[in-house]
Amino acid sequence: MAYEHGNGYTALADTCEMVACADIVEENAREYAETFGIGKTYLDYNDMLAQENLDVVSVCTWMHLHEPMVLAAVAAGVRAIHCEKPMADTWGGSKRMAAAAKEGGVQLTFNHQRRYGAPYVLAKKMLDEGALGDLVRQECECGNIYDSGTHFIDMFSFFQGEVPAKWVIAQIDYRTENLVFGGHCENQQVLLTEFAPRTPYDNGVFGLVMTGAGEAKPVGAINRLLGTDGVIEVGLADGRPIRYRLQGEKDWTYPDTNGESIHGPHFIERAIADVVACLLEGRKCQLDASNALIATEIIFGAYESSRRRGRVDFPLDIEDNPLKAMVDSGDLKLTKAE
């Protein structure tokens, strides 16, 4: 992902100059610097922050390092930080990063880059223009909610204009160890959440997430939007990017996305370009930490619901990672993956 970020900054040669990089492996740092024409390399990011006068920092490490690195960059006076997803390895860490950046006047963004992909942009445009009528429910199917699912749960709030969730109820199955970049991810899960209503007289929009079903396709699409006048599906089981069927239509329509799937190309380059433009123009980025917190609260809230065996109302009142805590305590006994 560091190379993807590097490509994004390189494409902004008129406004950005990459001046330093840090990696704990000297060979990796040197190779990265040679690839992007970077003049200085460091083996410790703290040394880089102390010795360089940096405007923008990208954090492209495993999740457990996001919080200390972001907090260090905020303390160093960096103007903008673009961090890989998911936010952090705990709910408390996610909140601390967002709070520190806000207090320090630092633009903190997270790389939910699918917000810039043609299939999702088209779906949101149709929704905003009223093609679906009133949005009633969103559905999602993905491998897990923590690593891959953070993208697609983030789409829930993207489609709804960053409306937060009210509560979540969920149950997980985690019998075989599944570590992704060092973080525990469930084997399977069913999750239901409700988003705050648009007015005191509306019902909220519901969100349903199913993960880890393997070859089975309980939803049949990565994201589905169900409205009073139609349905849109993004990321179809057959690999096609998007289709929709409006009220009164028998057949699906498959829009042209100019070769873009739900994974790319060029989503990260667009995200980096927007991050830099927002910094220069002084406007809020749609990748802002405040938006990322919406999906992150649902994710850790779902794990907490499994720990409590009941519904969890928001705001979420924990600090840890409930899934990791259940593994560490022995409440979840795992078989090591072969």
With bands split at pLDDT 50, 70 and 90, how would you rate the model's confidence at 292? Answer: very high
Q: Are 54 and 72 in contact (CB under 8 A)?
A: no
pLDDT at 198 over 90: no
**First-last CA distance in the chain:** 27
Distances (CA, A) of 107 to 3, 81, 211, 253, 306: 21, 6, 32, 39, 34
pLDDT tens digits for range 134-173: 999 999 999 999 999 999 999 999 999 999 999 999 999 9
pLDDT at 338 over 70: no
Question: How high is the pLDDT of residue 150?
Answer: 97
Mean pLDDT value across the chain: 96
Residues 6+ apart with CB under 8 A from 120: 114, 155, 158, 223, 234, 262
pLDDT at 203 over 80: no
Question: How high is the pLDDT of residue 306?
Answer: 97
**What string of DSSP letters covers 141-171?**
EES-TTTTHHHHHHHHHHHTTSPPEEEEEEE
Question: What is the percent of the chain with per-residue pLDDT over 90, rounded to a whole number?
Answer: 95
Question: How high is the pLDDT of residue 336?
Answer: 85
pLDDT tens digits for range 17-62: 999 999 999 999 999 999 999 999 999 999 999 999 999 999 999 9
Q: Is the pLDDT higher at 204 or at 129?
A: 129
Question: How high is the pLDDT of residue 227?
Answer: 96
Q: Is the pLDDT higher at 78 or at 337?
A: 78
Q: What angle do CA 39, 53, 101 make, to 5 degrees?
A: 125
Domains, the chain, with CATH or none: 2-113+268-285 (3.40.50.720), 116-262+293-329 (3.30.360.10)
Residues 6+ apart with CB under 8 A from 53: none
pLDDT at 199 over 60: no
pLDDT tens digits for range 74-97: 999 999 999 999 999 999 999 999
pLDDT tens digits for range 300-331: 999 999 999 999 999 999 999 999 999 999 99
Pairing between strand 40-42 and 20-22?
A: parallel
Look at the block and give the residue holding tokens 């880890």. 212
Residues 6+ apart with CB under 8 A from 154: 112, 114, 115, 291, 292, 294, 295
Bridge partners of 78?
Answer: none
Buried b (16+ CB within 10 A) or exposed e, 259-296: ebbbebebbbbbbbbbbbebbeeeeebbbbbebbbbbb
Residues 6+ apart with CB under 8 A from 326: 174, 303, 306, 307, 332
Q: Are 86 and 298 in contact (CB under 8 A)?
A: no
